[in-house]
Amino acid sequence: MCFMRNLKNIFQQVVFLFFTLLLSANSFAHHVLGRPAYSLNEDSNTPPSMQVETQIGNYFVTYMIFPAFPKPGEKGRINIYASRIDSGDTLASPITFLVRDGGWFADKTEEQLGTQDVYDGVYRQGFVFKEKGSYIITAKFEADGEPYSIDFPLQIGESSSMIPIGIALGSIVLLLVVVNIVQRKRLMREKILDSRSPS
Amino acid sequence: MIMTHPGLPEPWGYLVWAFMLLLGLWSLTAKVPQQLQRRTLNLNDFWLTRPLLRFMLHSPWPLRLLKLVVVGLFLLVIVAGLYGTPIAGRNLATVLTWNIWWAGLIVSIFFLGSAWCAVCPWDTLASWMVRPRLWFGKINNSLDLKVPRYLRSVWPALLMFIGLTWLELGVGVTTSPYATALLSLLMIVLATLAMALFRNKAFCRYICPVGRTVGFYSQLAPVELRPIDTDICAACTTLECYNGSDSVDPCPTQLVMGTLSQNTYCTSCGNCVRSCPQENVSWRLRPPSYEAVADARPHWDEAWFMLGLLALTAFHGLTMMPFWEQWMTALAQQIGDSGQLLTSFSIGLIISLLLPVLLYALTIFVLQRLNGSKVGFRKLFTGMVFITLPLAFAYHLAHNLNHLVREGVGLAAMFLNPLGTGLEPLSMAEKHQRHFDMLISQDLLFTIQGLLMMFGFWIAIKVLRHRGQRLLPSAGWRLLPVLLFIILVNAFHLWLLMQPMIMRM
């Protein structure tokens, strides 16, 4: 009996852990992208590039940005390499590139950058952004009768670093103010109770 | 191109295997001594260490100064992460946090126990904001609420540790200076929130995944803070170590020195040393296995944390193997996962957590059956779990040493340009140079790794023999299931160490 109760207890803990992890995974899984890597091509004079490798359905997709840190008004290029995981065959159908603002509260309307055919195994899409910001590039294509859509981040100019500091400091200050107010109310209540109680 | 570190050479593998088999056989046949011989060395008794300890512990200033340095570095990490280059290998935020601190922290426990907690910048910053001690006195911005009963366990810390692993290895915080800085800010907010709401240091004791990891591993540290004379503590009625004094804060994790038997919740802050009017508290040296073998008391939540440590430590190693990505790719194709393959990663993480737990539960079940169910499953589960601690710690040390020794090169130069301003990504030539330019020779590294694997196994066997003797006095060969579990886990860790490991950045 005791063993069964403990086994049940373990099972409950495991189920709890499982669902905690599953929920946390699902909440991020849709738009989280491959990890960026920065590299220097030593065989040419091109500036460093940013590269993201990812996978979707039956395809490995590599996405490169030239230059690695594009600035507003500066010409840049996106290169995409897509090949089948099983055979390594290069994707042949055209890819359409769309862009939208990647900010949390930004307008999510998409604009089309262009549609590109494969040339020498690479899809090349040029861009010039006038304003700095965090953008999301969407690459759409069809393969084996299925629609494919992949999102990639593109940072133009430097990211705004004051926002996280502002949020962290703001929340700490707010917390301390609230605690202070509660403490003062507590003290007042205690004083009132003390004055009412018979000495 | 993926660059890998070479694994432990085969001869070392055979040597560790031979050691495990011999020691395993010996443990089944040799008689367990009835009493453990307790030998400790009080560091206050040595002419060399006495003045140093007095200087470090009897005045708050040395510790304050150290805290100031660590907080300065921590703030530099945040600034570098937010404003510096996004190239992980060129930014101090990622290199200092993941290659040096995260890897070096585990190594520091081996020598200094929970010393890191004494200078932890999360707690220091939270204390400066919530309970600052100024020249005119002490300000208290905390509500000093009692920690709710459901939070008074290490479950929150275990969940945080799993979350941190998910962020570190799944989301890839280690390769993003910006995300590293955000995580640092988040930890300050959490530490401040806990301190502003609850009395003492609830964050350190129940929530902090780093603090609890340090705490549990400190059971195997060769140092401890303990009373010099237990009779003085027994006669003490004021308990300054617990309550604090006018000038010294109380114990942050509410420990009473007179009854302290394990390092798990000690943060090495030294408040007890400064507040004790009898000067009866001191650091002392001890054999690294006492606590896990005898002193540490079994608890249900702590047993799960230790199992979590074992599982997550192996998981760290597993994700750095070249075949891990192939597994993830295959799984993602099966379930239709795309992008960063986070769902596949999460499934891998869950399986890696479940497997050792289920294996351990099965081991305890078989042990109980073999011994005629005299002792309850829960008692055996929590009592025997200490075998996992040396196994996890030894592998963690061996794995992290690889990172520290091979990836910790060039840190001094990074301080000249911590933000990596104007620097290009690491070239292949530079990566190769770093690969060969190690802090110690490769042979010495392999020797230390091999010895660590033997050390972990040896301590686990000691724990098995002594705890087994106490829980099941007439068990003898019937402890075999647990011995097999120890051999299996250590062999798996050894195999992981023998594989080539992918460089972090």
pLDDT band, very low/low/confident/very high, at A33 (cuts 50, 70, 90): very low
State yes or no: pLDDT of B339 exceeds 80.
Answer: no
Q: What is the ipTM of this complex?
A: 0.78
Chain B neighbors of A18, CB-CB under 8 A: 350, 354
C-alpha distances in Å from residue B298, one per residue of A171, B72, B262: 38, 38, 11
pLDDT recorded at residue B382: 95
Task: Output the pLDDT for position A6.
Answer: 56
Determine the structural domain holding residue B448 and report its residue range: 4-216+292-502
Is the model more confident about B61 or about B77?
B77
pLDDT value of position A35: 63
Please give the average per-residue pLDDT across B383-402, as a whole number.
Answer: 95
B427 and A42 within 8 Å at the Cβ level: the answer is yes
**A107 to chain B, closest Cα gap in Å:** 23
Per-residue confidence band for B34, with pLDDT thresholds at 50, 70 and 90: confident
Confidence band for A31, pLDDT divided at 50, 70 and 90? very low
pLDDT at A32 over 60: no
Residue B356 lies in a domain: yes
The total number of structural domains that make up chain B = 1
Q: Is the pLDDT of residue B302 over 80?
A: yes
pLDDT tens, position by position, A75-123: 999 999 999 988 889 999 999 999 998 877 777 788 999 999 999 899 9
Mean pLDDT of B451-476: 92
DSSP alpha helices (H): ranges in B88-176?
A: 92-94, 102-112, 115-119, 121-130, 155-165
The pLDDT value recorded for residue A1 is 46
What does the pLDDT average to over A34-57? Answer: 72
**Contact B196/A54, CB-based, under 8 Å?**
no
Report if residue B153 sits inside a domain: yes
Q: Does the pLDDT of residue B150 top 50, yes or no?
A: yes
Asked if the Cβ–Cβ distance from B377 to A3 is below 8 Å, we say yes
Considering the domain boundaries, does residue B145 fall inside one? Answer: yes
Query: B-contacting residues of A 65-104, CB under 8 Å?
Result: 68-69, 85
B281: alpha, beta or left? (left if phi > 0; alpha if psi -120 to 50): beta
- Whether B195 shows a pLDDT value over 90: the answer reads yes
Is residue B9 one of the residues assigned to a domain? yes
Better-scored residue on pLDDT, B37 or A168: A168
**pLDDT at res. A26:** 34
**CA–CA dist B92, B419 (Å, integer):** 6
For position A27, what pLDDT does the model report?
29
Higher pLDDT, A55 or B397: B397
Say if B196 is an interface residue toward chain A (CB within 8 Å).
yes
Does the residue B252 lie in any domain? no
Residue B269 lies in a domain: no
Q: What is the pLDDT of residue B205?
A: 94
For position A14, what pLDDT does the model report?
Answer: 47
Instruction: Identify the residue with better confidence: B49 or B355.
Output: B355
Looking at the complex, does the CB of residue B181 fall below 8 Å from at least one CB of chain A? Answer: yes
pLDDT digits (tens, 9 = 90+) for B272-282: 999 999 989 98
- Distance CA(B77)–CA(B88), nearest Å, equals 12
Given a cut of 70, is residue A12 above it in pLDDT? no
Q: Which fold has domain A32-156?
A: Immunoglobulin-like (2.60.40)
pLDDT at site B36: 75
Q: Rounded to whole angstroms, how far apart are CA atoms B380 and B467?
A: 10
Which tens digit of pLDDT belongs to each residue from A153-175?
A: 888 988 777 888 899 999 999 99
Percent with pLDDT over 90 in chain A? 30
Q: What does B253-317 look like in DSSP terms, one character per residue?
A: T---GGG---STT-----HHHHH-TT--EEEEE--TTHIIIIISPP-HHHHHHHHHHHHHHHHHH
Q: Which pLDDT belongs to residue A28? A: 28
By the CB < 8 Å criterion, does B372 face chain A? no
Give chain A positions within 8 Å (CB) of B353.
17
pLDDT band (50, 70, 90) for residue A17 = very low
Q: Among B76-80, B317-321, B388-392, which is the least confidently predicted range?
A: B317-321
d(CA B27, CA B407): 38
Instruction: Kindly tell me if the per-residue pLDDT of A2 is higher than 80.
Output: no
Q: Which amino acid is at B268?
A: S
For chain A, the structural domain boundaries read 32-156, 161-199
Tell me which DSSP letter residue A72 carries: T
Q: How confident is the model at residue B364 (pLDDT cuts 50, 70, 90)?
A: very high
Most confident of the following: B245-254, B312-321, B405-414: B312-321
A155: distance to nearest CA of chain B, Å?
A: 11
